[in-house]
Amino acid sequence: MGLTVLMNAGPWLAVPPPGYGGIENVVATLVPELRKLGVRVLLASVGSSTLAADERLSVFPDGQFENLQRPYNQVCGVAQAHLHGVVRTLRERDDIDLVHDHVEAVGLATLAALGPGAAPVLHTLHWDLGKHPDLYGTLDGGDRVRVNAVSAAQLARAPRALRAHAIGHVHLATPLAVGADRRAPVEVGDYALILGRITPGKGQDTGARLARRANIPLVLAGPVGPYRDPAELAAAGAAARQNPDVRFWYDEVAPHVDGVTVRWIGQVAGAERDGLVARARATLFPLRWEEPGGTAVVESLALGTPVVATRRGCLPELIEHGRTGLLTDDEDELADLVVAAGLVDRAECAREAARRFTPEVMARRYLELYERVRRQPVAV
């Protein structure tokens, strides 16, 4: 009999997510590949999830994303209600070999406290928790509970209680990497692209300022808080400023956006997004935080576009300086590197993605970790 895994995607968004959704995207990429490899998957999510699975369980009919804006105790209440359903299933059944959990803090603590007889748990870290060294306090669960990160850099910055349970890291993947090395080259435009949520850690202000100074066309693609494009943001009026990303947009980014050299086109999706990435001379990541996993980074490689970035977080693990992109410790150098990115071999970027960042590579690595979690308890 193959392995049966309870995949806990949490109650926040459907899988796959209707728009933005980090964890839910990872689960949507991973589950079909695991099933191809013979794993039975019981998906714990919300009722509106459409991802194919062998079985499903849900407490909420729809994603509870808007509840994430509520006070912390209410956020925990929603997470607990979802977890209650997961725990009930684990108590009722004895055929679950492993729980692969993606729900931060509340989820892991609850699963860890289930006692020695319960199914082992692999918890995947999705965020940079470096600013919260004491989050989780001490974690129960002993050898039953293991933690993996999405990069070595992320693991190194994880809270102590989590690092004590660490079993390794698995880089993110993208379906775009499948056959990336066989895709026909496209005509490359003159613009650089910053793809991602517009938020201080992603450094759109720096990118826009440098692009204006060096006269390099720059496209900013991504939502500002809950607002998908300039029209939605304008319609929201002054009240929108309560959102810190909206304040960042107005105060730090917008002053550099002239609509000619630097443009904000709002959120992009599907073929439009892929075409925009594929035709960019480089994707730019003027990061000001320690990027934990960088989905947009591996997507860029998969579409044959070199990455120019500050050397932070997972970037040095994903990008080889000079071969698949250009990295620097000095953000003022980024504009020069965007120009130099023309020297990077785009076919090599695509080959790297096809070799390292396909869903199959990710699923095989998780399967290895599942086996290790089940068979070889590691001394904590």
Other CB atoms within a 10 A radius of the CB of residue 320 amount to: 13
Dihedral (C-alpha) 285, 288, 289, 290: value to the nearest 10 degrees?
60
Min CB(24)–ligand UDP separation in Å: 11
Secondary structure letter of residue 377 according to DSSP: P
Nearer to ligand UDP, 118 or 149 (CB): 149
Nearer to ligand UDP, 18 or 179 (CB): 18
Chain position carrying tokens 């039953």: 144
The one-letter code for the residue type at 332 is: D
Q: Under 8 Å CB-to-CB from 308, ≥6 apart: which residues? A: 192, 282, 283, 284, 285, 325, 326, 327, 334, 337, 338, 341
Nearer to ligand UDP, 65 or 370 (CB): 65
Nearer to ligand UDP, 171 or 346 (CB): 171
Chain-centroid distance, C-alpha 145: 22
Residues near ligand UDP (CB under 6 A) are: 20, 22, 195-197, 221-222, 267-269, 273, 293-296, 299
Nearer to ligand UDP, 229 or 336 (CB): 229
Min CB(89)–ligand UDP separation in Å: 28
Token pair belonging to 157: 């910055």
Q: Quote the CA–CA distance of 251 and 142 in Å, as a whole number.
A: 47
Min CB(172)–ligand UDP separation in Å: 7
Min CB(371)–ligand UDP separation in Å: 27
Q: Quote the CA–CA distance of 127 and 116 in Å, as a whole number.
A: 28
Min CB(256)–ligand UDP separation in Å: 19
Q: Under 8 Å CB-to-CB from 66, ≥6 apart: which residues? A: none
Nearer to ligand UDP, 107 or 313 (CB): 313
Min CB(160)–ligand UDP separation in Å: 24
Q: Quote the CA–CA distance of 235 and 210 in Å, as a whole number.
A: 29
Min CB(112)–ligand UDP separation in Å: 25
Nearer to ligand UDP, 6 or 193 (CB): 193
Min CB(198)–ligand UDP separation in Å: 9
Q: Quote the CA–CA distance of 286 and 209 in Å, as a whole number.
A: 11
Nearer to ligand UDP, 225 or 294 (CB): 294
Min CB(84)–ligand UDP separation in Å: 27
Nearer to ligand UDP, 58 or 199 (CB): 199
Helices and strands in the chain, H and E counts: 14, 13
Nearer to ligand UDP, 59 or 176 (CB): 176
Q: Quote the CA–CA distance of 56 and 64 in Å, as a whole number.
A: 17
Burial class (CB in 10 A: 0-12, 13-18, 19+), 63: buried
Q: Do the beta carbons of residue 201 and residue 289 sit within 8 Å?
A: yes
Q: Quote the CA–CA distance of 305 and 296 in Å, as a whole number.
A: 11
Min CB(228)–ligand UDP separation in Å: 8
Q: Under 8 Å CB-to-CB from 283, ≥6 apart: which residues? A: 192, 193, 194, 195, 277, 296, 297, 300, 305, 306, 307, 308
Q: Under 8 Å CB-to-CB from 323, ≥6 apart: which residues? A: 344, 345, 348, 352
